[in-house]
A and B are shown apart, each in its own frame.
Chain A
Amino acid sequence: MKWSGYNNLEELGESDDESLDSLKRRIILAALVVLVFVALIFSRLWFLQIYKGDEYRARADNNRVRVSEIAAPRGNILDRKEREMVTNRPSFNVVLVREDSNDVDTLIKELAQALSLDISDMWDKLREAEGKPRHLPIRLVEDVDWATLAYVENHNHNFPGIRIEATPARVYHYDNVAAHAIGYLGEISKKELAARNSAVYSGGDLIGKMGLERLHEKDLRGEKGSNSSEVNARGFEQQLLKNIAPLPGNDIQLTLDAILQQVAEELMGAGDKAGAVVAMEVKTGRMLVLASNPVLPLNQFVGGISHKNWNALLENSKHPLINKVVQAMYPPGSTYKMMTAMAGLATGVITPETVFYCPGHYYFGNRRYHCWKRGGHGAVNLKRAISESCDVYFYQVGLRSGVDNLAKMANKFGLGVKSGIDIEHEKGGLTPTKAWKLKRHNQKWQEGETLSVAIGQGFNLVTPLQICLMTATIANGGTQYKPQIIEKITDPDGHVISQFEPIITSQLGGEKVFLKQIRDGMKEVVQGKRGTARKVRIKGMTIAGKTGTAQVVRLKQYKHLKEEDIPYKYRDHAWFTCYAPADDPEIAVTVLVEHGLHGGSSAGPVARAIMAEYFAERLALAAEEEKKTKE
């Protein structure tokens, strides 16, 4: 073999030694290069594993551990007889896990087509979820029906990334009964989420938006459970690491009576009436009925209300979103006359025996003030004045007492004062005084205005709840109870967390001796021969009450019209408030029918039905006994 490059062996030997040495010197340099890279790699390892070790460890856990929340069943809501009003049922939502889908756009299109759903709603939900982790399910359609559920389950291979998720949803056993008091749930908004503890709430949670559901969110919501599972890079669960069962919310028992509430709402609804019905126990302050019509369609809120339905609620001229029991104010009309009478008696300007003559009108200043009865009532005393609601009588009592005394008395009975009931946005009403007018309108009080106030018109404004409280205070002899709607709150183990206790807010002083005269007058309203609410009578029971008409407008152009021909929105509001039994009062009922014209005819029957229902058993028993004694 001949090695190319070598001319002869001697030359090879000579040059070899020298060049070999210089080569070997360069190896040292090479070793240095190696060490430089080793140092680089070691320092990088130190940086990643020690300096940033904790951070990367957290990221690795974040990669592998997926925590999915389990919604807690909300507490149930029961009525005073422990009838279930609101409980939970499983609701099925169609959710999308973006991570499991490689083409979300096409998927959504196909899904919308298959289920014939509105695609823009789904796009909105997707857009809201942008920026959230891709493994978190996004609710596309909430609370789907069985047909949709079955379709999605059977065709899930067609929709990769689409899953069915079960969450508790509200069931309303009495439909929309007490809807305003109970309220509804909705998905937590970004604003609400920001204001709340992020350990408790997360996006997509349901939260009380109104009524008890909102005010007692803390009691009702319970504690979420969670599943921590290990997942691989494709998102498939490998094993369950930890499971924490959810803790159901506390049950709330209301003082409300579902059946009475139902009666009230149905009667109001039957005539398509707008208004409020309030009933309470006069000796405790327990509220039995808090009805506001038109009712809220609670079931529309389950799984999120649609824009269409929400707009319909907003645009409804009868304002179903307003809880008319506490959020709407009306002139009290003739129901205020008890206050005028009380003020007159308390200031001593009249006695029960004082008689005023009513010719059907009263002159004051250079104006003629009418009595509702154009023919006049003749000579009237207090009892007749209340039972026949004589305006002329109360004009004079009001004038003699003065407007400030009227207001003072009204306030003692809860008019013009917030009651503090457990319902949001309660209005306080208005009991006008001279000082108020000066401050509010910068005008001096006109004595003529006192005449309007004395019969419950003019500046006067009250809520139906206030009239009911006033009635209860008259009935129970002068004690103001705080209106309450919660009987008790019970935790999931059955321990009672809070129990109803009557709370007295105020008591009348010496003037309470005059209440008897007022009550006699009110009894005459229903039981008397010429009372304005004779239609309300129930056989076997004495009822005391007062009708009222609250003027909406005073327009000349409608004066000559028959009542039925006046446009709906200009018709007077009708009041009826009462208590029973008249001799030993238990409950007070107040009904307001917006634009209902006459208290006796439109509001009275609703109150009557509630009392009939409330005393049904006793009335039946009494009727039976009467039958027996006859035999």
Chain B
Amino acid sequence: MFRIDRRYFHDFDWGLLLLLFVISGMALMNLYSASYPPSPYGIPPYLKQCYLFLMGGMGILFILCFDYTELHFWNYPFYIFIILLLAFVLVAGNSAGGAQRWINLGLFKLQPSELAKLMLVVTLASYYSRKDEDEGYGLREMVTPVLLTGLPFILILKQPDLGTALMLGIIFVSMTIFAKVRWQTYAVGIGLGGAAGVFAWFNLLRPYQKRRIETLLDPGKDPMGQGYQILQSKIAVGSGGVGGKGYLEGTQGHLHFLPERHTDFAFSVWGEEWGFSGSLFFLIAYFSLLIWGLYAAMTARDRFGVFLAFGVVMLIFWQAVINLLMILGFLPVVGIPLPLVSYGGSSLLTTLLALGILMNVRMRRFQTGQNLNMEKVKLK
């Protein structure tokens, strides 16, 4: 099973790793500032995040040891495990702010909904790579992926965690469109989605969730609540100007005007302290990683690899876009972190594991799937 070959060192995408290091370095630096001055109690967030980076790094190494095609199989136990965890947090999870999301693991609180995002990427990649339809998928073929997505979606919505649930939906939609569906499917999908949205607004959304959306439409309506957070974030980023206020010199963050400054609003701190130039540098690095991921999808050796790499990029991309648009005042406060940058163990581990899969796809780009599969099949 272990196929550690010297060729893998050669084929390994060191550039991708370097980019990850650069981004992670900036993220940790920013986290230090975002939680500055360090609290005298417990392990400071940046240090915890360091440990988690190391853990995630080991996770990447572990993933690299296997051919990604193994996931066709491991996908099933993984899926069932995550569903069980999601069910478990609903029954016995730690609650905070009226939502049950966590399982306390000591060093960090495991948020199964984060892992569920990666699980969905792998599951859908596996399904779509095996189901190839030239004409695009019809409604019949869509039943299985909709059910596979729907089950964790509903469990997460129950917590309630609207942001993550929506992320699952977005991942599903991106990967499905990427896999190509018939136009009838689009029509039905849009119709059903719209109906579900209207239904959800009147029956499922909790008042605070509705308020978030209303606040986005009219930020002046609620200046001390949701609007306040967005406003303070805009002030933080905007006051950074061209060159920023300097590392550890941000006033919006350090004087607590900025809410959630080391989690969801971590990039506001960066924007305030490093200004437009620093933000540009950071985002170019960040989006280069994603474009690089798409390139990895281009060069993947088989459909599964393409779908995996694409799914991983979409997973990170949509979270980043939603988080950044929220920070910059274009979206409501939905509680989506900026992958790699926001403090949070589950999100970081999930992202690193996802990148591990991406590296795996990239590293094993030259072995033809047929050969490998045939070998394996032949072995049987």
Contact = CB atoms under 8 A, between A and B. Distances in A.
Nearest to A37: B321
A19 B297 contact: no
Contacts of B302: 16, 20
B257 A63 contact: yes
Contact of B373 (A9, A38, A63): A9
Interface stretch (B83-91, B188-196, B283-291): B283-291
B145 to A, nearest CB: 13
B122 to A, nearest CB: 15
A50 interface: yes
Interface string B321-333: 1001100111000
A59 B235 contact: yes
A4 B257 contact: no
A52 B252 contact: no
A63 B373 CA distance: 63
For chain A, the bracket of interface size reads 35 or more
B5 interface: no
Contact of A41 (B134, B251, B306, B321): B321
B130 A53 contact: no
A44 B132 contact: no
A23 B306 contact: yes
A233 B276 CA distance: 24
B131 interface: yes
Contact of A12 (B238, B325, B370, B376): B370
B120 interface: no
Contact of A45 (B239, B287, B328, B377): B328
Contact of A1 (B73, B240, B283, B291): B73
B241 A24 contact: no
A56 B255 contact: no
Interface in A559-617: none
B298 interface: yes
Nearest to B297: A27
Contact of B251 (A18, A46, A60): A60
A6 B130 contact: yes
Given A9-B370, A9-B373, A64 B255 contact: yes
Interface in B184-240: 232, 234-240
A48 B328 contact: yes
Kindly name the residue among A4, A18, A45, A57 whose own CB sees the greatest number of chain B CB atoms within 10 A: A45
A48 B256 contact: no
A15 interface: yes
A19 to B, nearest CB: 5
The prevalent SS among residues of B at the interface is: helix
A469 B307 CA distance: 107
Interface string B166-194: 00000000000010100000000000000
Contacts, number: 150
Nearest to A4: B130
Contact of A48 (B131, B238, B251, B255): B238
B255 A50 contact: no
Interface in A42-97: 42, 44-46, 48-50, 52-57, 59-61, 63-64
Interface string A1-35: 10111100100110110111011101100110010
B271 interface: yes
A300 B275 CA distance: 57
Contacts of A60: 235-236, 238-239, 251-252, 257, 272
B51 to A, nearest CB: 29
Interface in B363-380: 369-370, 373-374, 376-377, 380
B67 to A, nearest CB: 12
Contacts of A57: 238-239, 241
A112 B378 CA distance: 90
Interface in A483-522: none
10 contacts: A12-B370, A23-B178, A23-B303, A40-B325, A45-B276, A48-B328, A49-B276, A60-B251, A64-B252, A233-B257
Interface of B: 72-73, 130-132, 134, 178, 180, 232, 234-242, 251-252, 255-257, 271-272, 275-276, 279-280, 283, 287, 290-291, 294, 297-298, 302-303, 306-307, 310, 313-314, 317, 321, 324-325, 328-330, 369-370, 373-374, 376-377, 380
Given A49-B238, A57-B241, 17 more contacts: A5-B131, A16-B302, A16-B370, A24-B298, A30-B313, A44-B329, A45-B271, A45-B328, A48-B234, A50-B276, A52-B238, A53-B276, A57-B238, A60-B236, A60-B252, A63-B251, A64-B251
